[in-house]
Structures are given as C-alpha cells and as structure tokens.
Amino acid sequence: MTLDPSPLGPASISLAGRVAIVTGAAVGIGRATALALARFGADVAVCDRDVENLDELAGEIEGLGRQVVAAGLDVRDADGVAGFLATARDRLGHVDVLVNNAGGGFRAGFLDVSEKGQRSLVDENFTSVTHFVRGVVPLMAAKGGSIITITSIEAHRAGPDFAVYSAMKAACMSLTKSLALELGPRMIRVNCIAPDVIPTPGIGTGLGIHTPLARAGHADDIAGAVVFLASDSLSGFVTGTTIHVDGGNLAAGGWRRLDDGTYTT
C-alpha cells in the first residue's frame, strides 16, 4: 500500500477528528500529553487511579472544546481496562492513538524485591501495555493508527536498584519492535518514547542539571514527541523505533556535564 500525502504544512499537525487514549493521565507526562493531544484537535479518553486530578484534567479538556472520557482505573486490572475501552468506544466511536504512559517503580535492590513487589512491577509496566494493545487494536479503523509507549532511558542501560522496572521497560521496547512488524499490514505504527528523569510531582525535583542540553526536561518535551508520533502526516513512515527525549543523556553514556560545561566520567 502506498500513500500520496498532502504537502506538509501547519494543517499537517492537526489531530482534528482523531481519538486518543492516554493512560496514567492525571499528572505529569500523562497530563501534559492528554492536554497537548486535545489542543491539537483530538478527543481524548483518559484513565488513572488519581481520580481527583483526573477529574480536573477532564474539565480542562472539555474547556478546550473536545470530548473526553475519564475513568478511575488501575491499569493492572484486565477487566477494568476492558470496561474502560468499551466506554470509550461507545462514547467516541473508535481509537486512532494509544499512549501507554501508566507505569512506575520503587527503589530497592533486586534481592530485596518480594514476589508481590515484582508482580506489581511487571503488571504495571508491561502487562498493562499488553492489555491496552489487545483491547485497542480492534477499535482502530482500516486506515490504521499509532501506538506509543512511554518507556525510559533505563530500557537502554543498567538500572541498579530498579532492575525489574528497567527490565520491563526494555520488554516494552522489544514488544514494540515485534508489534511494528505484526501490525504493519494494518497500517498501525508502534513506537516508544524514552525519557530520562522529567521533573513531575514527587519525581526528579531538586536534582542538578547535568544533561548535555543545559536545561531541565519538561513534561511538554515528551508531549511534543507524542504529538509527532500521533500525526500520520508527520511520522507516517516511522514505526518500530524509540525516540529518546533525554537531553542527550543516552548519547553521553558515562560522561557527565559539569557546571562549567566540561565533561567528566
């Protein structure tokens, strides 16, 4: 199948008429992503366990003139995911974009992680993604869609004291490559975005700035990459890859920028 795209221009960025799902949307990267998609024209279905902040977000999306479906949801709950997707289908009709943002971890040496803790990490960071992909693909139209999973720089390097979390983010990256091949004939693009620490409520605040780009990251940096991957016009031939939104930290490897602009290892 070949496409004859329209000439690129400002209208290419519009997501008008599109429907997006964002998980873990109440605060931080998820919130910025849901609002960015709405500002660019998409109707949005959002979920999170943080119902109070999710309701506030839903009000902001409605204020932008977009339709919104919001549900308190633990993404580890397969039945809950199915119910949420059924509501989104009934209210919004179809899905064009899925953003798997929900996830999280805790600091602990691998030998100190209990079986219950490990299961929680696996379910929240990996199994939840599989729940949503299986549920959303049948809701995507014949023209295809875009699946975007927020992973982490730790999917691509060691994660001491976050070993299981890092392994699950790496698993999402591997799954993305396989799904890009399996879903390509359906015109569904599958990609990852790998941030480093982005200051959000309770995470990454008070840290020094040592990235090659001499500024802190922002949730909107991730949201901008999501908008790019959501747009068929801008990223229609991009699939099976990871966009690293980390200020250059992956490229830096073991190098660390000092305050005077020089580097040390």
Residue 263 falls in the annotated catalytic set: no
Q: Which of 175, 150, 152 is nearest to 165 (CA)?
A: 152
Antiparallel, parallel or unpaired: β 145-150 and 43-48:
unpaired
pTM score, whole prediction:
0.93
Phi, psi for residue 189 in degrees, rounded to 5? -90, 140
Q: Each residue of 7-16: pLDDT tens digit? A: 888 888 899 9
> How far separated are the first and last CA of the chain, in Å rounded?
48
pLDDT given for residue 253 in this prediction: 87
Q: What is the mean pLDDT of the chain?
A: 93
Mean pLDDT (whole number) for 55-80:
97
CATH number for the domain whose boundaries are 13-264: 3.40.50.720
pLDDT given for residue 231 in this prediction: 96
Residue 5 predicted with pLDDT over 70: no
Residue with the larger pLDDT of the pair 80 and 6: 80
Catalytic residue among 165, 166, 169, 230: 165
Residue 206 predicted with pLDDT over 70: no
Other beta carbons within 10 angstroms of residue 242's beta carbon come to 19
Residue 263 predicted with pLDDT over 90: no
